[in-house]
A and B are shown apart, each in its own frame.
Chain A
Amino acid sequence: MTKIAVIDYGMGNLHSVSKALEAASTNEEILVTSEPELIKTADKIVLPGVGAIKDCLEAFSDELRRTTLELISNKPTLAICVGMQMLLESSEENEGVTCLKILDGKIVKIPPLIDIKVPHMGWNKVNFMSDHFLWKKIPDRSFFYFVHSYCCLSSSDAISETSHGTNFISTLSKENIFAVQFHPEKSQNLGLQLYKNFLDWKI
C-alpha cells in the first residue's frame, strides 16, 4: 500500500489536509507524523504550512529536517502555502529568513496597492503557464482558495500564476516537487481532484 506522510512539525491545521487526502484516496495509507523513522518509510510526502514562516522553519528539529529533505530530494512531494514558501530561497517575513533553497524564487510581501486587501484571502483563478500531470481534470483558470500575505513574484520553476492586483506565482514545480500557494484542502471538488492527482502521480 502506498504510504503518504503528512509532515507534522507542530504548526497549522493538519486535520484538513489529512481529511482531504483521505477523501481523495482509494487505498493509500495517510500518516500525519513528526517521527523521522515513520517518515522514512513513506512513498510520498505532503509538506503543509500555516502561520509564520520563521516558526515553521524553527519547528523543524534537526533530525526531522534532515529526514524530510532527504525525501524531498527524490519522492513525490506536495508542498502547500508556507510549506511551498519554505522550499524557496528566502522570505521577507519575520524581518527576513533564509529558506531551504530547493526551488528558485524569493518570497516578498504582497505589493500594497489601493483597493487590494492583504491578506489575500479567498477564491482566485489559477492560470496555467505549463502542463502538468497534477492539472489532470482541472480546467485552466479554475478557482482555488488562497490565504497569505507574502508571495513569490517570479521563479524559473513557475507553472501557474494568479492575480491579486499584481501577478504572482501560484504553483511551482521541479522534478518530483509540486508546490502550491493556495490550499487545495479548502478548494472543494477541484482541490480534492488535485489531491487525487497527487496520489496518482508517478515519477
Chain B
Amino acid sequence: MSVAKRIIPCLDVDKGRVVKGVNFVNIKDAGDPVEIAKRYDEQGADELTMLDITASSETRETTYKTVESIAGQVFIPLTVGGGVRNTQDIKRLLRSGADKVSINTAAVENPDFIKEASDKFGSQCIVVAIDAKSIDDTFTSWEVVTYGGRKRTGIDVLQWVQNAKDYGAGEILLTSMDRDGTKEGFDNKLTKAVSSAISIPVIASGGVGNLQHLVDGIKEGGAEAVLAASIFHYSEFTIQEAKNAMLESGLEIRI
C-alpha cells in the first residue's frame, strides 16, 4: 500500500487564456483558465499544473491574478511554472495561492537557485521541470533543452535530474520534447530511465493521445503522476474516464 498515482491536467496559459501548441508551436485557444480549472476539479483531477508560456514581465500580473482566482475556488494542489527566475517570483506565486512552483531554464543556468529556493520554501514546493530531447534517433540518450524548447544545452538528462535532486528538488516534471503534442504516448524509456535514477517523484509529460498512454506512463515509465493537456481540454476524455481506465488496469487511484 502506498500513495495513489496522480492525474494532473495541465493548463498552458498565454496572456490569461488556456492554449495548447503542438511541439510548442501552432498555438490554439482552449478557454478561460479558471473555468477549466473548476471543471477539472469537479471531474476529480488530483492536482493542477499551470504553465505561463508567455512569462513576460507585462503579463506577469495577469498570471498572479489567475493563480489567485484558481486557488480561491479549487481546493486541490496547484503547481505554477513559466519564467520563474528568482526567489521573489516564487514568493509572489506562493502568496498568490500556488502550492508548488516549477523551475526550468533558471535552474539549468544556475543550479544553486534550486538550493536557495528549497532551503527557503522547502523541497516540497520546488518542482524542477525538464524538457528532454533525444540526442539522436535511437531514443536512448537525452539532453536538456531550455527556453521553452528553443535552446539545446548538451546537458545529459540523467546527470541533470541527479543534480536537481541533490540541490533540493522535491519533484521532477519530465516533458519529452520529441513526443509533446504528437499524441503518440509518453516517451516511456525516458521516463523509466529518470524514475529509476532518483528517489523523488517523477511526473511524466508530453505525448498523451489516449487513456492507455496514461496507464503506460505509470506501468512502463514508472511515473508517480501523469500530466496531460489537450486530451482533456477539448473534452475528448474526462478526468473521470481517465481514472476509470487506470483503476481497471489495477493502479491505485483516488476515486
Contact = CB atoms under 8 A, between A and B. Distances in A.
Interface stretch (B52-60, B68-76, B149-157): B68-76
Contacts of A187: 75-76
Interface residues of A, number: 39
Interface stretch (A38-46, A62-70, A110-118, A131-139): A110-118
Determine the main DSSP class of A at the interface with B: mixed
B199 A121 contact: no
B178 interface: no
A15 B95 contact: yes
B247 interface: no
A48 B99 CA distance: 13
Given A51-B121, A117-B200, A123-B46, A20 B2 contact: no
A7 B200 CA distance: 30
Category for how many chain B residues contact A: 35 or more
B97 interface: yes
A3 interface: no
A50 B123 CA distance: 10
B4 A15 contact: no
A15 B3 contact: no
B125 A124 contact: no
A117 B6 CA distance: 13
Given A122-B3, A123-B3, A124-B3, A23 B124 contact: no
A187 B99 CA distance: 13
A19 B4 contact: no
Given A117-B200, A165-B2, 16 more contacts: A13-B97, A15-B97, A19-B71, A23-B75, A51-B122, A117-B3, A117-B224, A119-B171, A120-B3, A121-B170, A122-B46, A123-B6, A147-B124, A148-B124, A183-B77, A186-B77
Interface of A: 12-13, 15-16, 19-20, 23, 50-52, 112, 115-125, 143, 145-149, 163-165, 183, 185-189, 191-192
Interface of B: 1-6, 41, 46, 68, 71-72, 75-77, 94-99, 119-125, 170-171, 199-201, 224-225, 254
